[in-house]
Every structure is written in C-alpha cells, then in structure tokens.
Structure 1
C-alpha cells in the first residue's frame, strides 16, 4: 500500500496544543488522577446558539477540525472519518438519567439523538455542508488507527484526494466515578503517578480531540508521510517483539532504522509491561513517552501522532518526552506503539516527508 501525507495536524488536549511552539511548552501532569482538556474560546468558531446544544466532544472536534482544514487549505474534504472510543458520553449520561428520573416515560429524544457515536462526524459535515463519505469507527484504543487506515485505502484506491481524519473522547462525571471504583483510574493514594516505573495499577485519565488532513500529494503544510499501520486486538506479552519485528519487516526496515519510538506508558504497572518489552528492541533509538502529557483515554494515540508530526517536521524532540538519551542527527522514521489496558494494540509508522 502506498504512503500518504499528513498535511495538517490540530489537537485540543490537556496541553495548550492550539498555540504555536507547542514543543517548548509541554507540562507533565502527575498529581491528579483525572485531567481535563484546555478548551478554546468556542464562540470564536461556533455560533452561541449552537454551543449550548453541543457536548464537549462535539465542540472540541468542531474547533480542531476547523484548524486542521484551515492549515491544509482545504474547504471541502473528500471524506470525513472520525474515531472515538466513548462517543458523546455526556449526552448518553443525560439520556440515561432522564430514563431513570422519568420512569422510562415522557422522554425528549434530543439527548438520545445527540448521544450517538457518529454525532461528531455528522456535525462537522453539517457545518461544512459536506455530502461526501462520512464514517465513524468505534474500536476503543485503535479507533483513530482504523480511521487512518480507511483514509489510506481510499486515497490509494483513487476514491479521494484529501480526507479529514480525527479522533475524540470526552470525560463524564458518572463514568469517571465508575472508572475510579473499578481501578481503571488511579487511586488518589497512588499519586503522584510514576509513568515509567509504576508499581501501582490504574491510569491518569485525560481527554481531547486530534484532527488531521490526509492527502495523496505532499504540500507546503505537510508534516509527515504515513507509511503503514498494523492493528491487533490481542497480543500476548511474549509476542510483543515478534509483533513489532514482523511489522518492521513488512516495511523493509530493521529496529536500527527507527530513529524514534513513541511508547504509550500510562503508569499502569500491569499493562505497561508491553512497552517495557518493546523498548528493549530499540536500544539505539530515541525512546519517548507522552501520556504524562495527555493522560490515558481511548483515543490518546491522536496526541502521540500529533506530537510525532511536529517532531518530524521540526526535527526536534522535547526533553520532557525522552526516556533515554539517544539523539539521532536526523529523525526520519518514527514508530508509535499503543494499546489500552493490554488490548487493541496498534503500530503506526511515520516517515519524514
């Protein structure tokens, strides 16, 4: 499959990623177990009457997609593809609360209509008056990777030239309470979180939206070349090295060809063992991590792809992301490895454009 180009990258996250010089202004977060995204002034992008009816994830995605299209110089994409793990969970919770409070009677359909996972892609299309292919992938931590793979296939097949691809997930109060109770989220007694050498279970939970314009041709705004993606629902701990080596072989690369590897260390002692195994394959590569900057959530890999794009374009690695001290003269190939709780493993290979 031929490579495609990432011609713009926009992100709303726990960091102030809409500002310029983002690589110089990253602040780790470890003292809280739930961290919220820094939201932009929505009224600059969305009419006030519409803002009141939108959930947080729709608002974040509307602004992030606007920035991505503007940067790429695209008015109408040939397709809109969005990946999300939880969808519009705020409206889902509101609908379920109404069901309980009203004894399943006299329900208004608004919250139910707005709670569906494809609301984000639909709202972006409505705003653009875009009648092209519109699809949403819901595959937990590999939702964005499936979206990118779809975009790559469509461009390779000649179905599209420029595609808006994004990922988004929001927090909701009740869901966060449940995640704390079942130890998905770290207990406050286990803070501050140690992301690289954790001895406790659970993660620091974040949120955010990342959007990219993927195109067939390289442009002046191009960040990186998207070479290949591999996704596996289940990988045993003892199979991690083979999983990665096979992927590299498919792309005619060895571990020595990888200039930087970005690993999804989350501070969960059990599932981080996968990343520790993977890191042993790349002693001569710059090893990086990012979830101390974004938090863990279903589509946290969007933040890592956003950061990788900036690293490849600017040829600089932020000190705050470094695990080891290896520094290559040129950063050409970047490998990203992510999973969520030991499931839905993904590998993304990016190359300098």
Structure 2
C-alpha cells in the first residue's frame, strides 16, 4: 500500500495544544481522577445560537477540524471520516434523563437526533457544505486507526485526494460516576499515579478532539508520512513482541530501525504489562509515553498521533514524554502502540518526509 501524507494536525486536549508554544508548556497530571479539555472561545468559530445546540464533542471537533483544514489550505475536503468511542454521550444522557423524568411521554426529539455517533461528522460536513463521503467509525480505542486506514485506502484507490480525518470523545457526569463505581477510574487513595510503575488498577480519564488532513501529495505543511497501520482485537501478552516484529517486517524494518516508540502507559497495572513487554524489544530507541498529559480515553491515540507529527516535523522530543535517556540526532520514524484495557491493540507507523 502506498503511503499518504499527514498535511495538517490540530488538537484540543487537556493541554493547551491550540497554542503555538504548547510544546514547551506541557504539564503532566497524576493526582486527579478526571481531566477536562482546555476549550477555546467557541464564539470565535461558531455562532452562539448554533453553539448552544451543540454538545461539547461537536464543538471541539468543529474547531479542531477548522484549524486542520486551514493549516492544510483546504476549504472543502473530498471526504470526512471521524472515529469516536463514546460519540455524543452528553446528548445521549440528556435524552435518557428526559425519558425517565417524563415517564416516556411528550419527549422532544432534539437530544435523540443529536446523540447519534455520526453527529460529529455530519455537523462538520454541514458546516463545510461537503457532499462527499462521510463516515464514522466506532471501534473503541482503535476508532482513529480504522478512520486513518479507510482514508489511506481511498487515497490509494484514487477515490479522494484530501480527506479530513478526526477522533473525538467527551466526558459526561453519569458515565464518569459509573467508571468510578466499576474501578475504570483510579481511586483517590491511589494518587499520585506512577504511570510507568503503577501497582494499582484504573486510569485517569481525559477527553479531547484531534483532526488531520491526509493527502495524496506532500505539501509545505506536511508533518509526516503515514506508512502503515495494524489492528488486532485480542492479543496474548506473550504475543506482543511478535505482533510488533511481524508488523515491522512488512515494512522491511526491524526494531533497530525505529528511532522513537510511543507507548500508551495509562497507570493501569493490569493492562500496562503489554507496554512493558513491548518496550523490551526497543533498547536502542527513544521510548516515550503520553497519557500523563492527555488522560486515558477511547481516542487518546489522537493526542499521541498529534504529538508524533510535531516530533517528526520539529525534530524535537519533549523531555516530559521521555521514558529512557536515548536521543537520536535525527528522528526519521516513529511507531505508536496503543490499546485500551488490554483490548483493541493498534500499531501506527509514521515517517519523516
């Protein structure tokens, strides 16, 4: 499969990633159960009347996609593809609450209409008047990877030249309460969290929205070359290293050729063993982590992809992301490895252009 180019990258996250100087102002968080995204002033991008009817994830995605398209110099993409794990869960909760409070009678359909997972992609297309391919992937933690793979296939098949690809997830009060009850979110007595050597279960939960423009041709704004993607739902711990090595063999590389590997350490002792196992085969690579900056959520890998793009373009790795002390003079390629709770393992390979 031919590579495609990531020609722009925009992100709204727990960090101030819309700020040009965010690289030097990254702040790790290890003592809060839930991390909120730093949101922009939506009035600058969305009319107030429309903004009031939008959920948080739709607003974050609208602004992030605006920045991604602007940076790529694209007014109207050939397609819009969005990956999300939870979709518009705020509106889903509002609709269900109305059902209960009104005894299933006299319900307004607005919250129901806006609660579907494909609302984000639809709203972006409506705003752009984009009549091209419009699709949403809901595959938990590999939703972005499926979106990127779809875009790569379409560009390779000459069905599109420029595609807007994004990932987004928001928090809701009730869902966070449930995550605390079932110990998905780490208990307060287990703070502060040692992400790399945690002895307790659970994670710090985050949120965010990341958007990229994938193109057939390299441009002045190009960040990286998207070379290959691999996804598998279930993986035994003892298969982790072979999974990665077989993936690299496809691209005629070995683990020695990887300049930097970004691992999704989340502070959950039960599932982080996969990352520890994987790190053993990269003794000569810069090993990085990121969920102490973004929090864990279904599409947290959007944040890692965004960071990888900036690392390749700037040829600089933020100290706060470093696991080991290895620094390469030139960063030519980066491997991203992620999963959520030990399921839906994904590998994304990016190269410097």
| TM-score normalised to structure 1 length | 1.00
| Distance in 1 separating the partners of 2:23 and 2:35 | 20
Q: Secondary structure at the match of 1:196?
A: coil
Could you tell me which runs of 5 or more consecutive residues in structure 2 were left unpaired when the two chains were aligned: none
Q: Secondary structure at the match of 2:350?
A: strand
Q: Report Cα offsets for 1:2-54 as digits up to 9, x if no partner.
A: 00000000000000000002221100011101000000000000000001000
- How far is the alpha carbon of 1:308 from its aligned partner? 0.1
Q: Which residue of 2 aligns with 1:165?
A: 165
Q: Which residue of 1 aligns with 2:316?
A: 316
Q: Which residue of 2 aligns with 1:187?
A: 187
Alignment of 1:131-150 (within 5 A): 131-150=131-150
| Distance in 2 separating the partners of 1:265 and 1:101 | 41
Q: Which residue of 2 aligns with 1:214?
A: 214
Q: Which residue of 2 aligns with 1:203?
A: 203
Q: Report Cα offsets for 1:271-302 as digits up to 9, x if no partner.
A: 00000000001000000000000000000000
Q: Secondary structure at the match of 1:60?
A: helix
Q: Secondary structure at the match of 1:199?
A: coil
| Distance in 2 separating the partners of 1:71 and 1:231 | 29
Q: Which residue of 2 aligns with 1:178?
A: 178
Q: Which residue of 1 aligns with 2:93?
A: 93
| Distance in 2 separating the partners of 1:30 and 1:52 | 33
| Distance in 1 separating the partners of 2:225 and 2:22 | 21
Alignment of 1:187-336 (within 5 A): 187-336=187-336
| Distance in 2 separating the partners of 1:62 and 1:117 | 15
| Distance in 1 separating the partners of 2:26 and 2:109 | 41
Q: Which residue of 2 aligns with 1:43?
A: 43
| Distance in 2 separating the partners of 1:141 and 1:67 | 24
Q: Which residue of 2 aligns with 1:53?
A: 53
| Distance in 2 separating the partners of 1:159 and 1:237 | 38
| Distance in 2 separating the partners of 1:28 and 1:219 | 33
Q: Secondary structure at the match of 1:63?
A: helix
Q: Which residue of 1 aligns with 2:4?
A: 4
Tell me how large the CA RMSD over aligned residues is: 0.4
| Distance in 1 separating the partners of 2:83 and 2:218 | 24
Q: Which residue of 2 aligns with 1:129?
A: 129
- How far is the alpha carbon of 1:192 from its aligned partner? 1.1
Alignment of 1:54-69 (within 5 A): 54-69=54-69
- How far is the alpha carbon of 1:318 from its aligned partner? 0.3
- How far is the alpha carbon of 1:84 from its aligned partner? 0.1
Q: Which residue of 2 aligns with 1:83?
A: 83
Q: Secondary structure at the match of 2:8?
A: strand
Range moving further from structure 2, 66-75 or 15-24:
15-24
- How far is the alpha carbon of 1:194 from its aligned partner? 1.1
Q: Report Cα offsets for 1:70-109 as digits up to 9, x if no partner.
A: 0000001000000000000000000010111111111110
Q: Which residue of 1 aligns with 2:115?
A: 115
Runs (4+) of structure 1 moved beyond 4 Å? Answer: none
- How far is the alpha carbon of 1:235 from its aligned partner? 0.6
Q: Secondary structure at the match of 1:287?
A: strand
Q: Which residue of 2 aligns with 1:74?
A: 74
Q: Secondary structure at the match of 2:153?
A: helix
Q: Report Cα offsets for 1:197-256 as digits up to 9, x if no partner.
A: 000000000000000000000000000000000000001111000100000001100000
- How far is the alpha carbon of 1:261 from its aligned partner? 0.1
Q: Report Cα offsets for 1:146-188 as digits up to 9, x if no partner.
A: 0000000000000000000000000000000000000000011
